[in-house]
Structure 1
């Protein structure tokens, strides 16, 4: 059982945790490797990090820093899903320096959730956090695509926000075409 329908929702959950921890930079790396039958996802940030005592309990659903509810299911269910799909889960963190979540799955595992709507997920992150420096790299086999929100912001200048409708349309098209050129399952899932 998974709390989210697809992996893009897990990515959004982790990214929102990063932003809540004060991250100004977020690195998302996705690798689909049909040759080794592996799917890898890494989310790394420069937020305030997780204290060691909390990090030791981070995969326990009954431990959360939220005050709105008493359970935190995102990370525990992501770990469980990865392990059920012949993969792994690792989280490392340094207080004051940031956190890195790495998860892997057997690409062909019948129970592995699809990547889902990565374009929509990334657009949500950009609209909700227009000053976040999001660097997204996606690799399928030998092909790769990189999106860097900071570079787009530099070209546009400070007077045009990334949340501008025309800019968002450009970003949506850029992301979709990048994933399509890779042959990523994220385009079809």
Structure 2
């Protein structure tokens, strides 16, 4: 994976497969501390300590389509290449938290990528789950919460073409307003 947005998509898909009904994504860009933080929290089934160890093994996966699970090992490597680290915390029956810290200005930090398309894919592809996306840049905040959007739309589904277009524009404008990294 060459973009951080694709790591987010991979982790969110794993969260959905683990039964998560709420996924929280936090992105924090802090120039003062030269820190780029990415944290994804879910309320899925969670993992035992043994399952957590396996999740960090590139030759283990729970997916039936392929026999290797490179997502978390690649994310960990990407963070470490910038002087950062990745931490996996999980508890059965509670959920999982994956945090990755990167050197914000490090030359090897992967670009953010197309986060609007990734968020749309997560939202539209998983109508039974909710997403809270929070992106912070030097104290400026963009927040997207599908629970609020669903409430405002009442019976209009999030995958309605006009809603999808609105969401894409809202996300792009919100990220632009706070000066989020590309």
For 1:117 and 1:26, the matched residues in 2 are separated by: 19
Deviation at 1:168, TM superposition (A): 0.9
Q: Determine the structure 1 residue equivalent to 2:81.
A: 84
Q: Determine the structure 1 residue equivalent to 2:96.
A: 99
Moved over 6 A (4+): none
Q: Determine the structure 2 residue equivalent to 1:22.
A: 19
Structure 2: stretches of 5+ with no match in the other structure: none
1:31-89, Cα deviation, whole Å (9 max, x unpaired): 01111111000000000011221112321101211222221001101101101111110
For 1:167 and 1:132, the matched residues in 2 are separated by: 17
For 2:129 and 2:159, the matched residues in 1 are separated by: 12
In the TM superposition, 1:85-164 aligns within 5 A as 85-157=82-154, 159-164=155-160
For 1:144 and 1:54, the matched residues in 2 are separated by: 34
Does 1:176 find its partner at 2:133? no
Aligned length: 182
Deviation at 1:5, TM superposition (A): 1.7
Q: Name the TM-score, length of structure 1 as normaliser.
A: 0.94
Structure 2 counterpart of 1:49, from 34, 46, 51: 46
Does 1:38 find its partner at 2:39? no
Structure 1: stretches of 5+ with no match in the other structure: none
For 1:44 and 1:102, the matched residues in 2 are separated by: 9
Q: Name the TM-score, length of structure 2 as normaliser.
A: 0.97
